[in-house]
Amino acid sequence: MSTQIKAPKAPSSWRRWRTARPFWGGLLVILSGIEILLAVKAPLPVVLHVGMQGLVGYLVPIVLLLCGILLLTNPAQRLFYSTVAAVLALASWATSNLGGFLFGLLLGLVGSALAFAWTPDKRKKPARQARPTPPPPPGPPAEWAALVAPSAPADGPEAAPATPAPEASAADPTEEWPEQTPWDEAAAPDTGKPEGPARSD
């Protein structure tokens, strides 16, 4: 019985888009801006108004909503947008009904923290199959190697040149001659000159 291994499914376009940006952080910041804006305009019989009112009470949740949208559309500047969102969420405590009755304040702080800590997906992609290394090119035939290689002489390796023998040096005139022996005197040749008469005193 053969078992077939199914290849993993490719992620959908929605998943790729969602993982390429701080989705949950931006979504919470958007919800925070909407909640604070509705808390300011809520038709309640008793509405708390603490701090500055008027334009600022509407401007804070609108800018907070805009930061959440920018976090989703421009994730490269997420650090700046998340910092601004955190500051505006804290400022809504004094400008927009205690930060949207505290719920909008908490949503803004949690969303900005998630967006600030988000990093791009760095999971390793499947490595491409390595291409086989081509074999090395064949070398030249043996006949070519025999032609290229230098041939050795028939008599063997080339002999080193003979060193000429030093010439015999001339006899040193200062060299002492050996003394004559009685045998050398007897063997000396006779000159043939007659001996002269002996002189008498």
Which amino acid is residue 157, in one-letter code?
A: P
Q: Taking the model in full, what pTM does it have?
A: 0.56
Higher per-residue confidence, 22 vs 6 = 22
Higher per-residue confidence, 145 vs 41 = 41
Which tokens is 76 given?
């490269």
For 55-97, how does the pLDDT look when each residue is reduced to its tens digit (9 = 90+)? 788 889 999 999 999 999 999 999 999 999 999 999 988 887 7
Residue 80: count of CB within 10 angstroms of its CB:
14
Percent with pLDDT over 90 in the chain: 31
Percent with pLDDT over 70 in the chain: 53
In 3-state terms, the chain is what percent helix, strand and coil (to 5)? Answer: 50, 0, 50
Region of 175 on the Ramachandran plot (φ > 0 left; ψ -120 to 50 alpha; else beta): beta
Residue 23 pLDDT > 90 = yes
CB 49 within 8 A of CB 97: yes
Say which range, 11-25, 48-62, 64-78, 99-113, has the weakest mean pLDDT. Answer: 48-62
The rounded distance, in Å, linking the Cα atoms of 40 and 31 is 14
Residue 158 has what pLDDT?
A: 53
The rounded distance, in Å, linking the Cα atoms of 83 and 88 is 9
